[in-house]
Each structure stands twice: as structure tokens, then as C-alpha cells.
Structure 1
């Protein structure tokens, strides 16, 4: 086994690990990154379309306030462009009927929309009382963390349409069912993104812009700067803390350092052997942060034919498996691409069938929204993140009731010489690429203060 040394060892070459390494090396600190895969980006991944174009099969959107990922992209020469469709009509599919409008909500009944607006305002007010850094200390933390989002929906909404809209939001943002996730965690996540409106919005929201060349291009450019400081195909197996240092044992390499930043999802960090064992609260936290479930589908066409019909390429539906669709066409305007999301229970169910069956189900959804032409793409690209060994799901980890109040204080708390990063640890834009960058920069700052 090869033995190497650095002042700081970093685990994971997603945006969190890359940001930490970039900050530390800029300050003259020697840092090495262990990456399990043969690539950088983590849950961010491009697919080559040929002709110098790429599309995203992982994380892709950025929006107002996400200053750290935008600054990083700017530093490596990657620009943004708007998500298509601001001035076009969106498709709604409800109770077996297709319609179009500018709203982009799965129901247009005035009573439903009124109840939903009231509920969203109530949730917004609740979220604004939370300090993300200490969410477990919120005035109503115990009450909110003792129930699921579904419990709150059932107690506060009476119309099926409003319940549908809330359920669609939970699936679309967290890739889980409302019955799976703690109300407190949902509120904290929304506060970290500034508001629910920001979470679910396109124009003026978190889905406003895309990176020209795909989001992984940003990670690849940072990796080029770091050069051989990234060691690939080196999944972490064990961590040994000693009186004067730390040893990270990965496949084929043993990295000796003064301190370490572990910047991988909690569920993956839980699979590592720690000596000495981690504090109980941290260990049990990692046992209680499963990942969401999502399959991302890109259907590629010669041209974005829906644009000629005045459509945005966006659709929202009460019927799966794809319930949310966006226009994912590159900045050049060709080829045309529709991107659809299969989330939560439906993702888990379809993960167990054949690719042919998944494709048939996915294209059936697109055909309902955009006509028969949508069922005949020239290329079909899917990414089942639940089967990724070094992600175990997407978009991020979530917490069931009882987790945040009992174990949340361990999320960012160092354990001896181990410091934690990753988008789940971010106090702003957790779950997003921006949150990942912020967490890496925060962990690097902790290192600089201690070294």
C-alpha cells in the first residue's frame, strides 16, 4: 500500500471537497483529496452530447443568492444562462386532462389555490423563526420534529388539490414522500434557501439559471487547478486518529495528515471504520440521514419542437412516473432536450424494473404532456442515482422525525481531528451545489484557524 502525507486530508471530490482543497492550497497548506470515483463532481455529472456540448444528469441549477458557486464558476471561466420558458406556456396534467397556462401549478381551482397560498404563507412564517445553525433550539422544534410533513398536510389542508400541490413540492425538492420527512427538517431546509418561494421558483428562484457547458464543467476546471492533488479510485475504508495526527486508509493508499475534512454524504461516511469510534451522537446521526430517491431522464430530440408551439417545455402532473419536466436544451438551442424527474417511491419502484420498462414509462409521461413526438427521442439518457455506489441516492440526505432535535447538533461538530463538510452540513442553500461550496470553504477556514 502506498503511503503519502499532507497537512490536510480531504475525502470526496465533489464541490465541497474541491472548494476546501482550493481554499487551503491557495493559503499554502498542503492538501490531498481522496476520491472514490474516477471523476470529480460527486452528485454533479455531465453527459457528452458530441459537438462540444454536454447536458447534466446530476445537479444543475443555480439561482439568486447562490453566490459561492457562482463565484467559483466565474473564477474558472464558466458562465450561466437562463432556464428556458419564462415567457411561454407550461403544461398541466390533472385528472387525465392536459391544459396550458402561465402558472405552472398542478391545479387551477381558485379555492385550491387560495388554500395552498395560505398554507405556504403559514409554512413560510414558521420557517423564518428558525436559526439554521441551531434549528433544534427553535421555539417549536420539538413539536415540529415530532411529526411528518404529511401529518401537517392532513391537519391543515382540506382540498385534495392543495394536498397534491404540497406533495408535489416535497417530492420535487427532497425526492421523498411527505410521510417520510420531518416537518422541522423541511422548514429548516427552506430557511437555508431563504424561503419556500426560492426553493420552488424558477425565475427569481433556485431553478433560474444553468451553467454553460454543464455544471460538472465547474468541478472539472477546479480539478485542473488542483492537478495531482486529487487521488482517484480511492474509496475511504478506515480512519485512525492518533495523538499527533490522523491516518486515512483507502484502496491502494494510506494518507497521513494532521487533520481531515470528510466531505461525503452522511450515509457514506457511516460506512467508514473509525478508530477510535466516533461520538455516539455523530455516529447515530449518520445512521439516520438516508438519501432521497431520484431517477433523472433526458430525452433528446433533433430540435426543441415544443417551442414552436409556444410551450416552455415545463410540465407538472398528478400522474407519474414523471411528474415534473423542464426544457434542458443547451444554450445553443439544439438539440432539443426534455428533462424529467422520477422521485421518491416511484423512483424506488422503477429502479427495480428493466431499463426498457423504465424508458417506456418515462416516455409515456412525456407523450402525455407534449404529444406523440415526445415518445420518439433520438437519444434517451437516464441516471438512476439510487444505484450509484458512492452517492446512494439524490438530491441530498433528509431527516425523519426525531432526528434533527436529538442529533442535529453533531452535523457540523468536529470529532477530534475530523471535520465535516458536504452540502448537507451547509447553513445556506443546503442540498444545493452552492451549499456544498460553502461547506467546503467553512471547513477550510476551520483548518486554517487550527493549523
Structure 2
């Protein structure tokens, strides 16, 4: 079946309709085209890339969304290389800054040196987390031993039951905000363990060298998606939200505007919570419907502050800081070179950030950077931020903040096809769930499954 537009109508006919032009959707389309299948990708936003987004501060390209690739993220690395994008190591030379309980200190390594007592407690909690992670099947966490028990409490409740010290809890709160856009009390313990296991363990999740923050994409992560979309050409349509998908024994119709896309199969890559904006006919099964209601997106904001030079490096600091006070809770140095400009990336708590004016947001971030790095931080040359919770279409990120009971109740529906509708996205990944690498892997895998079904359909049709 070749892509075509029926004369006198707004309908298009293809083998596969793909909903969403993030890394999963574009990877699925890329694989389908390679298999000789016709495809049309529709995206509600005015851009591709999903939760990756390029920005600019002081002439430097920055990642307003997804940022890092690990050494073991081979799928997204291969994709980046294929479209001519390059990596650069995340700067981590020098001492890190810790601001906790009103006190500033510096440390080296991954785990902040809060105090000997907290260090021992952190090691104890890491061992306990890793022991539980070893029992989790990241491909089907809801079927893991003790899943019901682990899903009945939040990550925060578990920390309480383990009598985690305040310093340990503060550091785990930073982890939770970065990974799920929420506090430990808002996310199920089972969900947290699944994502930690999918990331290769807590150490790999937190580390820079050899870990999940190993490298950045020089051209920005969204540039990878833009170059893939450019290769797909007019197979990608932007500003085309999908409001309804119907299906029958012969195929699906994806309703867009005044017309529709008729296809043999559809691949939907929207996050579970965003699927609620689409009407399905026949309706989704109860478990899949529950998934859309309970797997809500977390919320995270980022700010970038530029200076003439990365002055903190001259003071022996890496640009990495962790704090339990104020708007900013973690920072990284994303400067393009030692000579400047210097750029600090700050993760911001939307609860004390998103509701303010642009000027107030800037002032709050700059003041906190001055507390962390000294008075030179008060005189930036440029500033930009992005509030993912304020996105007009498909808001939220970086990942779903799934509350207790929702993983065991509805998690199985993540990848269960609904008739001719198949699902992909970083949430669907087992290994590397919640990453660009996971999104690429699920897009490819789902496309391959659909290609097999198309081949079967042709074979069965020929035998009749």
C-alpha cells in the first residue's frame, strides 16, 4: 500500500499511521520506511522531539528538555551518529557544591558528603534499594515477587519505614524530582524501583562518568529528532492533533481536522496520561482506560544562566550543586568551552517557580546561584527557562509520577495492543524506561511487530 491522497477528500491512506513525533514515533516511522511500508506521522505540537526541546542562551544551544545520553544508550547514540550529531562529555572536573540545612560545603564524587552519619545512612539506603531492584522485572514490574506489597506504599513512606535520616531523605527527594518530577511521597515504591532498575541501578542513574549523565549532544537532543524528521520529509505533519481513532476489521481511521488517515494499523506514542485526549472507538479496555487516568505526568522546569566565562571553574568548582532550599535543587555546567561563555543549567521546583513572572523567576534563580557560587553569579549576561508543566499541548515531564496501586492495577496495559492500535514510548520500555534510548527502542520494536502483522495479512489474503 503506497501513501496517497484520495481526490476530492481530506483522507490519506497508508500502511501505518503514527501518532506523535517524539523519539519513539520518529524511530517507528524510520523503521517502517526502511521495511518498505508507507507511513504518516501526525504531531499535535508545532515541532518534533517530544520532551526534547532546543533553546539558546548567550548564543549557546541548550537542551530545555531531555539532555543526557549514557555510554550504554547505544540505540539513541547510533541514531545520533547516523544523522550526523555528536556527543561531548558532561563537565565534572572540580568540587561539587552542597547546600543543605542552611550550610554550604563542597565535596567530590557522586554522593554529597553531608556528614559521616548521613554517608553511612545513604550507603544503607542504597543497599536496600539495590536489593529490591534486583527482584524487579523491568519489563513486567507488576508481575515481580511482592509487587502488590511494593506498590501499596510510596517511595516516601518506604523511606520513613526505613528510618532514613533527614539528609538522606533530602538527597532522595532530589533524585525523585529529577526522575519523576515529584517528591518521593507522590510516587509508588514499585514504580520507582522499576525506573531505577531500568536505568541500570541507582549508581548508574546518579553517576556522570560511566553513568546516565555521561554525555550531551553538541547539537542538542532535539536536533536528532529534527534531522530524522527531515529525512522522513512530508511523511511528518505538525500541528495536527488527533482527537479520535476508530477501527474495524479492515483497519483504523485516525481523525484529524476535517479528514482522516486510513491505515491498516496505528502506533500511538503519546504518554499514557495524554492518551486521555483521544477518543477511541471501540473504547479502550478498562485497564487501558485506567492507565490514562492514573499514570499522570510529573512536572519539572529548567533554567539556564549564562556568564561571560565559567568563573566557578577558576574557583575549583565543577558547576554541579545539590540543594534542599529554594527554587533550584540541582545544577550542572553546560558551558561550550573553558573560554566562555559559561552556562549553568538549573533544575527548578515548579511549585516555587512556575507561577511567577519571567522577571521573578530569573531573580530567584540568580539569587540562589549567588548563594551557591558567590557574588559573581549575580551578573549574568543572559537567561532562559522552560516550564514543562505550562506546555500548551501534552504538558508535563520528565516521566510519569505514578502513585501507589496504579502500576499493579494498570501497568500491564502499557504495551497491550488495542485491536489494530499499538503503543510505543519511553514509558513502554523495559530497560531504559524514561529515556530517549528507551523511546527509540520501543519505537523500533513496535514498528517491527506491525511489519510482521502486515506481512501476515498479505500472506493470509493471498491464501484465501
Work out whether the TM-score is over 0.5: yes
> Which of 7, 20, 28 does residue 12 from structure 1 map onto?
20
2:388 alignment counterpart:
385
Correspondence 1:330 to 2:326: no
The offset of 1:142, in angstroms, is 0.8
What corresponds to 1:435 in structure 2?
A: 438
Residue of structure 1 aligned with 2:180, choices 174, 182, 188: 174
1:385/1:391 contact within 8 Å kept: no
Match of 1:131 in 2: 137
SS at 2:127's partner residue? helix
2:265–2:421 Cα contact (<8 Å) kept: yes
TM-score, with length taken from structure 2: 0.93
Residue 202 of structure 2 is matched in structure 1 by 196
1:414-425 aligned at under 5 Å gives the runs: 414-425=417-428
SS in 2 for 1:241: strand
Aligned equivalent of 2:64: 57
Alignment partner, residue 32 of structure 2: 24
CA distance in 1, matches of 2:297, 2:113: 29
1:148-159 to 2 correspondences below 5 Å? 148-159=154-165
Query: Which residue of 208, 215, 223 corresponds with 2:221?
Result: 215
Given that 1:93 and 1:106 are in contact with CA atoms closer than 8 Å, whether structure 2 keeps it comes out as no
Partner residue of 2:373 out of 367, 370, 381: 370
Q: 1:252 to 1:36 in 2, by over 3 A?
A: farther
Q: Give the structure 2 partner of residue 42 of structure 1.
A: 50
Q: Which runs of 5+ in 1 are unaligned?
A: none
Equivalent residue for 1:75? Answer: 82
Superposed CA RMSD in Å reads 1.5
Separation in structure 1 between the aligned mates of residue 388 and residue 331 of structure 2, nearest angstrom: 18
Unaligned regions of 5+ residues in structure 2, if any? 1-8, 455-464
Give the total of aligned pairs: 446
Which secondary structure does the structure 1 equivalent of 2:356 belong to? coil
Alignment of 1:302-341 (within 5 A): 302-330=308-336, 334-341=340-347
Maintained 8 Å contact 1:269/1:286: yes
Partner of 1:66: 73
- 1:96 corresponds to: 102
Q: Distance in 2 between matches of 1:442 and 1:331?
A: 38
Q: Does 1:426 align with 2:429?
A: yes
Residue deviations 1:48-106 (CA, integer Å, cap 9, x gap):
4576x411111010112111101111111111110002x31111112222221213544
- 1:110 equivalent in alignment to 2:113: no
Question: C-alpha distance in 1, partners of 2:337/2:25?
Answer: 28
Q: 1:251 maps to which residue?
A: 257
Determine the C-alpha separation between the residues in 2 that align with 1:48 and 1:362: 17
* TM-superposition CA deviations, 1:207-253 (whole Å, max 9, x none): 11001111111111111110110011101111011220100012354
SS in 2 for 1:339: strand
Which segment drifts farther, 166-175 or 295-304? 166-175
2:248: which partner in 1?
242
